[in-house]
Amino acid sequence: MDKILRINMGADGGPKIKIDSLGDYAGLGGRAMTSTIVAKEVPPTCHPLSEDNKLVIAPGMLSGSTAAMSGRISVGCKSPLTGGIKEANAGGQPSQMLGRLGYAAIVLEGKPKENNLYKIFINKDGVDIKVDNSLCMLGNYDLVDKMKAEHGEKIACISIGQAGEMKLAGASIAFTDMELRPTRHAGRGGVGAVMGSKGVKVIVIDDAGTKARGPANPDNFKEANKAFVAGLRKHSVTGEGLPAYGTNVLTNVISEAGAYPTKNFMWGSFETCQKISGEAQAELENARGGEGTATHGCHRGCIIRCSGTFLDKDGNYLTKQVEYETVWAHGGNCCIDDLDVIAQLDRLDDDFGLDTIEMGATIAVAMEAGLAKFGDGQAAINLVKEVGKGSHLGRLLGSGAAITGKVLGVERVPVVKGQAMPAYDPRGVQGIGVTYATSTQGADHTAGYAVATNILGVGGSVAPLKPEGQIELSRNLQIATAAIDSTGMCLFIAFAIMDQEDTFQALLDLINAFSGQSLTGDDVNALGMQVLKAERDFNTRAGFTKQDDRLPDYFKKEKLPPHDITFLVTDEDLDQVHNY
């Protein structure tokens, strides 16, 4: 990947295309690319929906190659939800295709002067941009069907639904999977609203006539890839649990640990969680769709295959296998224990282009405010449909949990830096609480997944209910995650590389054989720190202080059943996380 595609959406006479060399961004990919461009080129105090913000879409360093698990993509901008820097990560096919086409990044700049919607088409012959207002207010599923009718079945799409067009702070960007379904989302932080502010409805990618990116040392690359795959397959999480039950394998585990946020973070376990567990979900999917339906990859080169296909009661495709965080957000957090209802909510979120975590947390806040009763699945569906309609209530809900809580007068709103907490209560997993508080991204479990060590015993063991060791754990994981997000690798490889030294070495060998470098573990660590420093610097210049690296007060005051514990890590200790 040797070029950056820049599109000035606000240029005189209409959008202007420019192809840049990598320049100062050479050697960067994924999150390292998005965060470095945003930190360098976006004024930190700008309005997130203004012409000064930029939307950066970047495949990882290894994307477009035959390296296993290398098809993740990063989206970066100043976040409309947090007001800070944002990197949202997704699977799907676009990353591999952009890599094969040679693009290290797409940068959308400026803002259209006219109220038009644009379609961007990218293939080996170049880039074409057209006004297409017929796409206005289409959901992602109808939009992709229209693109298939126009361009055939061998494309990939990056798109926004109605929420992105309305520039709602909970809006996601959809990336199509191998079946050309808009099921993989860069969900967090309102990135879809920024794409909407640029007037871009869809980016269509066709990599026909291209080849996989070749490694610098083919023989070493092949050998390292083989060893890396073997390491993933022999680990109990990446080789057994995730392929069999998907990410929702965690539901029973986290509820039993007393860290499953229930009824808007009132309780740490959900009495009927077994009804929506990964085991129950896989059994249902295999029964409706045939054996193997619960195992599926979201992009070419995925060997963990933690996704699946959810069919409705009549055997018709409804949505992808609903992921753990979504099952929790629309399920246990709202006291809903019906997988069919949760799958309908997931389908609506994907179609409208909404972050499922933010939306589920928002519905729970609305339930606490009395707009619906906890456990009422149909009421939850109706509330999400309001967002698709663009009603006054829908626009409120689509703006996220923090805004909804403020407008509806709810005190207990589980957010950090304006972003809703995911599916782990910080009182029951103290390490993840540190990550929520101190991440550059707002509350984000993927920024430093302390659950792995606190609960699953991966990479060692740190007691989940005690403050000791949590700062170091979260710090190290945040650094490692920033580096992994830059490679284009799926974050789930962390389970194997944290437990198996030979698998970590295989990953290093894979990167080195591909790039021709001689990186060590220390170099990977340095890359992670470099990314985090750029993000922290942006947030500081945007006005963030150490007071923003805090959990809401009620987590320090309200005891979480069943352990009856509060968040115990002190503010003074939180301030030490980013002292590298």
pLDDT digits (tens, 9 = 90+) for 188-221: 999 999 999 999 999 999 999 999 999 999 999 9
Query: Which residues partner with 309 through β-bridges?
Result: 320
User: For the residues 104-113, what does the mean pLDDT come to?
Assistant: 97
Domain with CATH 3.60.9.10 in the chain: 3-205
Domain with CATH 1.10.569.10 in the chain: 248-424
Q: How far is CA 374 from CA 137, 359, 364, in A?
A: 30, 15, 7
Which residue has 């206005």 as its token pair?
A: 136
- Tell how far CA 341 is from the center of its chain: 22
Other Cβ atoms within 10 Å of 528 Cβ, number: 24
Instruction: Name the token pair of 346.
Output: 């997931």
Domain with CATH 1.10.599.10 in the chain: 216-245+426-580
* Sign of the torsion angle spanned by Cα atoms 508, 512, 515, 521: positive
Instruction: Name the token pair of 175.
Output: 């990336």
CA 493, CA 449: separation in Å to the nearest integer? 12
Instruction: Name the token pair of 568.
Output: 């115990």
Provide CB contacts within 8 A for 422, sequence distance 6+: 325, 328, 329, 357, 443, 444, 445
pLDDT tens-digit map of 437-462: 999 999 999 999 999 999 999 999 99
% of the chain with per-residue pLDDT over 70: 100
- CATH (residue range 216-245+426-580): 1.10.599.10
Q: How confident is the model at residue 306 (pLDDT cuts 50, 70, 90)?
A: confident
Task: Please report, to the nearest 10 degrees, the dihedral formed by the alpha carbons of residues 550, 444, 245, 497 taken in order.
Answer: -100
pLDDT tens-digit map of 228-286: 999 999 998 899 888 888 899 999 999 999 999 999 999 999 999 999 999 999 999 99
Q: What is the pLDDT of residue 200?
A: 98
Q: What is the pLDDT of residue 240?
A: 87
Q: What is the pLDDT of residue 318?
A: 95
Which backbone phi and psi does 123 adopt, to 5 degrees? -145, -170
User: For the residues 502-524, what does the mean pLDDT come to?
Assistant: 94
Which residue has 């965060």 as its token pair?
A: 35
Asked if residue 165 lies in contact with residue 174, where contact means CB atoms within 8 angstroms, the answer is no
Query: Which CATH topology does 3-205 take?
Result: Aldehyde Ferredoxin Oxidoreductase;  A, domain 1 (3.60.9)
Instruction: Name the token pair of 61.
Output: 């360093």
Q: How confident is the model at residue 298 (pLDDT cuts 50, 70, 90)?
A: confident
Average pLDDT, the chain: 96
Alpha helices in 446-469 (DSSP H): 451-454
Alpha helices in 415-500 (DSSP H): 430-438, 451-454, 470-487, 493-499
Q: What is the pLDDT of residue 273?
A: 97
Query: Which CATH topology does 248-424 take?
Result: 1.10.569
CA 357, CA 331: separation in Å to the nearest integer? 11
Provide CB contacts within 8 A for 392, sequence distance 6+: none
Query: Which residues partner with 310 through β-bridges?
Result: 319
Q: How confident is the model at residue 294 (pLDDT cuts 50, 70, 90)?
A: confident
Q: What is the pLDDT of residue 301?
A: 75
